[in-house]
Chain A
Amino acid sequence: MRNADILRFARDATTAYPLRTSLSVLAMAIGVAAVVVLTALGDGARRYVIEQFSSLGSNLVIVLPGRSATGGFSPANAITTTPRDLTVDDAAALSRLPLVRRGRAAGRRHVRDQCQWPAARNTGRRHGLDLPRNSQLQDGARAFLPEADWNRGSPVAVIGAKIQEEIFAGRPAVGELIRLGDRRLRIVGVLKSTGQGLGMNTDEVVFVPVAIAQGMFNSNTLFRVLIEAKSRDQIEQVKRDAAAVLKERHGGEEDITVITQDAVLATFDRLLRALTAAVAGIAAISLAVAGILVMNVMLVAVTQRTGEIGLLKALGARGSTIRNAFMAEAAMLSLVGALTGYGLGLFGAFVLRQAYPVFPAYPPNWAVVAALVTSLSTGLLFGIMPARRAAQLDPVQALMKH
């Protein structure tokens, strides 16, 4: 029997029993769709986190106050229980390191109660000329906060788009004065609306020079210092230098934590990849179930068509021909189910992306390939037994069952 004929014969056989065909196709489709959607979710979460973290900048070294206790117990930790704060002077010292392109001191605080308008939830204190990544100033704005002595901030502010809307109701805000606590600040820039940010929405933020903020909140501690290495190769060196400089400034104690952006990224990446793989594994169980259903359907088909199998043998079909015909049928059920499920899964991921535009829910290629291959191979694997049973039927017995 020619291959084209085997395929046509199997196709006719599947379409002749629409209910059982559609049920097994549906089972396979749900399995594949589950893998595609769930891995899209998992990988979307990974991409989302990585993207947000990358938006802080590139080649970053992050200095946080406090010692991370990863080295187990040490006498030094036991004596100095309270770490020294990270100060503006520390940040300035860090930015003078030879391999550092620029440093950025950052603090933030919820100021909702102290402010005169409801939308200002956070204030960020930044120093330096650079904007937050992915942010842009609106037209009419001059520049981000001016570079000046870190200890003497000029009374200026950059505000988020939502704050501009709520206070100025669409009128130009640059050059106006706003009152923040007991200070009057001149607005030098308005950020374009982005709505994104890791743990902070730049639409609802007021950026003020670090000295102003420290005066307002009566505090001289920094939330973190971000320093940017001049190149990727120098990250490790900058990390060591930063730790050494601060150790010297803090009286010989390592009471800060220095991490690199790459290390954090890699950790998140690993974690979320493992999560995605685990979710894919769970979803793959449904593929195995679907494979068993295909086997069930094929066993029913063999029983239902016993007479037909006997006839085919009487007409000169070899055992292998009958086996191939039934295998082709199982493969067709799996293939159509897998493709339908792939389509469903892509549609599901599309719906997710529509519902949550910031969430890049695309299924990873490996998961799609794995889902399709697994569904096809389970379909074929579970098709072997029914097909062999069909091929081994005794023609005389089979013909009697009509």
Chain B
Amino acid sequence: MTVIELAGIERVFHLGDSEVHALTRLDVDINAGDYVAIMGPSGSGKSTLLNLLGLLDRPDAGSYRLEGRDVTTLSPDEQAAVRSRRIGFVFQSFHLVPRLTAAENIALPMMLAGIPVVERTQRVVQALKDFGLDQRADHRPDQLSGGQRQRVAIARATIMQPAVLLADEPTGNLDRATGDDVINLLEGLNQRGMTLIIVTHDPKIGLRARRQLMMEDGLLKSDSARPSAVVAST
């Protein structure tokens, strides 16, 4: 089943008088449960692509269907609802709210979605156990190590059981060993059926994915799933 269908996606930024084509003629399908790495040098458009996939940004042209539903035409509030229920984000710099404890950070998406407190507490307790954070529930982010912070962030991203997990350089701020732990954790989630999309410029991490998308100057340069098709279009 296809979870993400991108067709003819264009994204243009206006910097002064010049136009920068961040994404050009992008056609990508991603299957449910897939494990995709988006790679490429800085400025190649991979972060723009991730923002589009996460509904944080809108394309200037083309269509984006998430789970069969066209999400580019949705109102901002409807897009927020889709982000809340169907998309999880993991960031390079963790993006934990500093004044909230680990448990409160994990509960944040459920709080925003208006889930009752009792259910929230149950799910947070379960998540803390699943991610090995039982002892850290009441710690604030500045009392956690980098690896623990990213685990809190991943627990937060998955607490709403989204269809797609988007990770933007999830190991960028971590040392090698901790980074490997985090990647193993993400791969474990993928093995249990969650679609995982990682943006990285680290080839070692990229090559662990089942499928690699290589970006360059806003174009999809190669797609390990369809080697010939992409080359033909460029």
Contact = CB atoms under 8 A, between A and B. Distances in A.
Q: Do A and B bind each other?
A: yes
Contacts of A316: 80-85, 109, 112-113, 160
B108 A318 contact: no
A1 B112 contact: yes
A395 B84 contact: no
Contacts of B112: 1, 312, 315-317, 321
Interface in B75-115: 76-77, 80-85, 89, 91, 93, 95, 97-100, 108-109, 111-114
Nearest to A325: B112
B95 A311 contact: yes
B77 A318 contact: yes
Contact of B95 (A9, A307, A318, A319): A307
B56 A399 contact: yes
A310 B57 CA distance: 12
Contacts of A399: 56, 91, 95
B108 A315 contact: yes
A341 B165 CA distance: 49
Nearest to B153: A311
Interface string A360-402: 0000000000000000000000000000000000011001001
Nearest to A9: B111
Contacts, number: 67
Interface residues of A, number: 25
B216 to A, nearest CB: 21
B54 interface: yes
A315 B84 contact: yes
B100 A318 contact: no
A316 B89 CA distance: 10
B95 A402 contact: yes
A308 interface: yes
Interface string B153-178: 00010001000000000000000000
B76 A308 contact: no
Contacts of B76: 318-319
Contacts of A111: none
A279 B95 CA distance: 50
B65 to A, nearest CB: 19
A399 B56 CA distance: 10
B100 A12 contact: yes
Given A1-B111, A315-B112, A316-B80, A396 B57 contact: yes
Contacts of A312: 108, 112
Contacts of A12: 99-100
Contacts of A5: 111, 114
Q: Which of B85, B91, B156 has the most CB of A within 10 A?
A: B91
Nearest to A316: B84
20 contacts: A1-B113, A2-B114, A5-B114, A9-B111, A12-B99, A12-B100, A13-B99, A16-B98, A16-B99, A307-B95, A310-B95, A313-B56, A314-B56, A316-B113, A317-B112, A319-B76, A319-B80, A320-B77, A399-B91, A402-B93
Given A308-B97, A313-B83, A314-B54, 9 more contacts: A9-B111, A311-B95, A312-B112, A315-B156, A316-B83, A319-B77, A319-B80, A395-B56, A396-B57
> 10 smallest A-B Cβ distances: which pairs?
A316-B84, A16-B99, A316-B83, A395-B56, A318-B80, A315-B109, A311-B95, A317-B112, A314-B89, A5-B111
